[in-house]
Each structure stands twice: as structure tokens, then as C-alpha cells.
Structure 1
Amino acid sequence: MTPGAAAPSTEHELVRFDDVGVVLDGNVLLLEATGTVHGGEILALTGANGSGKTTLLRVLAGLLEPTAGTVRIAGRSPDDRDRTFRTALGALIGPPQTARDLTVAEHLQFIAATWGTPAAAGAEQAQALLEELAITPLGRRFPHELSSGQSQLVSLALTFARPARVLLLDEPEQRLDADRLELVITAIRARAEAGAAVVLATHHPRLLEALADHRLHLEDAS
């Protein structure tokens, strides 16, 4: 099984959101949106800047309360204080927090240990993730030493390092050249094939062509 991938569960509806809308300080951030994603499926969120793609991902992740509608992730309401919810969800929405004095490999091992992986297995998983995304030499470097494209690949590795039945990815293609983009496409598809439900926001035609089992186009909320 791919490192950090979820156990197969393709028969289950893992993401459901019904008539979800967000209004903040009188501004409409997200018009009402509805969708479902089962294990093994990838839903692509599309729409112009300002249409609410990132806002919807933040709602699904439990980072933002919706003004209207309901959300279920693996059958539960989003709640950061609920360990079962946190265990089900992996999200890359903005840069992940990193420690200046830990190398990339040490970050990956730390995440694995946080979720109960023994040290030796965590080191093996970290190495496998680095190899999967073709960033093995970066394992010895510190996050602040990376270029923007390298940082994006490391951010994805950090997201994949934890178990997750649901993956939320905000423009995972950012700052990647064509070769690295294909590696990321393969990595995301592998996690869906292992049973994860994936929701990603993207403008990129290649990602949509290669990954989207379903699409939800969001109308401009401005």
C-alpha cells in the first residue's frame, strides 16, 4: 500500500455537504454548494478566483463554520477537537506548520510517530514518501532552505504522511513544473485507488483531465 494511504473503503460515502454557504461580515464567500464523495473518488472544485473553492475546503476541514447547510466527513460533523474526525482527515490548505530545527525527513517521521507508527516503520515511510515524490535529497534539508516548488512537494509529502480516509487539497499543482506535476497526479490517484475520498480545488486542465471523477463548478460569490 502507498505510504500514508487510507485502507480501501470504496463502498462508503465519506464526504457529504448539502446547501453549504458562507457569509462573513456581510460578504458572501460561498454560494450554496452540494456534493458527495465516496471512497475511491476524486471531486474537483472549479470556478473563478473568489468563487469559494478554498472556503468550501476550509468548511469541510472544520476550519470555518458554514452560515448555512450541513457537512459530514466520514459520517461526523467537522470538529477539530474530535480525534475520530481528525484521524479521518488530511488537508493541505495553505502552507503546513513546520519547525525550523527539524529536517524534512524528521518532520515526516514526527508525523508518523504522532499517529502511532513505530520509529523504524516511520523512517521507512518517510523514505518511501521522499522517493515517491522524487525529493529524496531534500530529506536532509530544513524547510526554510527549500525553493517554492520544493516546498510544495514537501507540503504534499507532509500531508500524505498521516493516515487519512479523506484528503482535501487546495491547488496541489502550485509552483510545479510538468514533470513534478505528473508525479503529484500519480500520488493523488494512488491514494484514491487505496480508498481515500479526495476533494481538490484546481484551475489546472491537466489535473482535471487526469484526476477528476466528478466536478463541482462554483459560481462567483462576489
Structure 2
Amino acid sequence: MTSAGEAAPTGGPRVVATGVSKVLGEVTLLAPTSLLVEPATCLVIRGRNGIGKTTLLKILAGLIEPTSGEVRIDDRPADERDQTLRRRVATLLGAPAAYRDLTLADHLTLIDATWGGELASCEDRVHAALDQLGIGDLAERFPHELSSGQGQLFRLAVTLFRPSDLLILDEPEQRLDTQKRDLIGSLLRDRQRAGTTLIVASHDPRLTEAIAGEVLDLGWGPSELADEADDTADE
């Protein structure tokens, strides 16, 4: 997908987490976890609900500070306030901000302007981005008029459209049927081939097989992984 504005640096960053954890009072949201993601590779994170996948992604993105350990994106500490990293890192961690009085096309146009896109080619790039996710015919709709699956595709469009070479995505397959999940897998493979580093939390074995170079299982044994695969197959 063509990104808005100036391109992110060629080749995604290397991401290293060393013993990161998150504890609130007596509650452990994430047990100490270490990982390494090489540039232009994809790590898929799996685990049962509540094990800390989303917390780990937020720490990797620099959105929250770990209780222990550290994360480095190339040679920089993960910190969303770092302007250099903000240009490199795009995240889908919950629903991004949306405005009732802006259409889907308006939202992407706003992103394009924010990141310094060329005005002359903006409309073409916006519609190409929506078309690529199969929602080009919804360009003039408002976010609150979308179905659950259409809304997820719109959130993905918002995330993928802005400049980045590190994508951190929390269950991008949510609310999507098999055909759309396959489409997302194809788009993410294309981004990786273009040099983007990917870190994705997913419950979907099919998506995992399509995109993962490495898999990190949080707190699961083999029997629990088999149960998760069976549950996903029944969706």
C-alpha cells in the first residue's frame, strides 16, 4: 500500500525486548518476556486471552513503560514521543480515532496531509488504498455507517496508509471472514517483502502460517495451542 507523504527509511528496524514485564499493584499483566525481531521479518505472538499480548505490543510500540526490562528499536529506546520513531512505527492497538463528520476518504486525506503528502496525487492514493482493502466503494461513507468487518478494514487502511517501516498489529484478523483474512495476509507479506518489520498478535493459525517468520507463544503449552487452533477453525 502506498504510504502518505515522505517514505519511511528503507528497511525496517531491528526490535529487541529484554526481560520486559508489566505489573500493576499485585496484578501481573505481562510476565518477563524477551524477543528479537530482525529487520524485514515477521514475528507472530500467540497466547490465550489475558496472557499479556496487547500489553507486550504496547510496550514494544513505546506506548506504555515496562515495569522491568527495556525495548530498543534499532538504537533507540521505544518511546512514542520520539519523533523519529513516530515516523517509523504504525500501530493497530484498538480502534484509532475516527470522526463522525469525516468520510473514509476524508480520514485518509487528513492522514496524508499530516504526514506531508503531495496534494496533487492525494485523491488517487487515497482511493487506491481503500480499493486495495476492498472498501473503495465505501469511500464516501462515515465510519459509524460501516459493518463490523468493514470497520476493521477501515482501521487497517488508516494504519497501513501512513508512513512506517515497523507495523505492530493486534489481531488484525478480527471480525473478518476467511477471504478478507487471506487478503490481509497477502498485504502484510507484500509489506514485509518491501522491507517492513512486522510484529503481529493473532489467534488465527491460517494468518500465522501465511506471514510468520517466527512465532512467540506466551504462556502456552502444546495442548493449549492445539485447543486454540481447534477453536479458531470453528469460527
Normalising by structure 2, we get a TM-score of 0.88
Which blocks of at least 5 consecutive residues in structure 2 are unaligned? 221-235
Deviations 1:105-156 (CA, angstroms, capped at 9, x unpaired):
1111110111111122222221111111111111110001101100000000
SS of aligned partner of 1:190: helix
- For 2:8 and 2:172, how far apart are their aligned partners in 1? 19
- For 1:62 and 1:29, how far apart are their aligned partners in 2? 16
Report the counterpart of residue 3 of structure 1 in structure 2.
2
**Conserved? CA contact 2:8–2:87, under 8 Å:** no
- Letter of the 1:16 counterpart: V
- Letter of the 2:131 counterpart: E
Report the counterpart of residue 223 of structure 2 in structure 1.
none
How well do the aligned residues superpose, as a CA RMSD in angstroms?
1.5
SS of aligned partner of 1:32: strand
- For 1:120 and 1:68, how far apart are their aligned partners in 2? 47
Distance apart, 1:157 and its partner CA: 0.3
- Letter of the 2:124 counterpart: E
Q: Please say if 1:213 is aligned against 2:213.
A: yes
SS of aligned partner of 2:20: strand
Distance apart, 1:187 and its partner CA: 1.1
Alignment of 1:107-186 (within 5 A): 107-186=107-186
SS of aligned partner of 2:77: coil
- For 1:212 and 1:158, how far apart are their aligned partners in 2? 23
- For 2:52 and 2:164, how far apart are their aligned partners in 1? 24
- For 1:62 and 1:137, how far apart are their aligned partners in 2? 35
Distance apart, 1:182 and its partner CA: 1.1
Normalising by structure 1, we get a TM-score of 0.93
Distance apart, 1:74 and its partner CA: 3.4
SS of aligned partner of 2:14: strand
- For 2:156 and 2:150, how far apart are their aligned partners in 1? 10
**Conserved? CA contact 2:71–2:78, under 8 Å:** yes
Which blocks of at least 5 consecutive residues in structure 1 are unaligned? none
- For 2:197 and 2:140, how far apart are their aligned partners in 1? 32
- For 1:74 and 1:150, how far apart are their aligned partners in 2? 35
Distance apart, 1:7 and its partner CA: 5.3
**Conserved? CA contact 1:7–1:195, under 8 Å:** no
SS of aligned partner of 1:140: coil
- For 1:140 and 1:75, how far apart are their aligned partners in 2? 42
Distance apart, 1:28 and its partner CA: 0.6
**Conserved? CA contact 1:8–1:39, under 8 Å:** no
- For 2:53 and 2:174, how far apart are their aligned partners in 1? 15
- Letter of the 1:58 counterpart: K
Deviations 1:168-202 (CA, angstroms, capped at 9, x unpaired):
00000000011111111111111111111100001
Distance apart, 1:46 and its partner CA: 0.6
Distance apart, 1:36 and its partner CA: 1.5
Q: Percent identity?
A: 46
User: Given the superposition, is the C-alpha separation of residues 6 and 180 from structure 1 closer, same or farther in structure 2, using an over 3 Å criterion?
Assistant: farther
Report the counterpart of residue 57 of structure 1 in structure 2.
57
- For 1:7 and 1:63, how far apart are their aligned partners in 2? 21
Residues 153-162 or 27-36, more deviating: 27-36
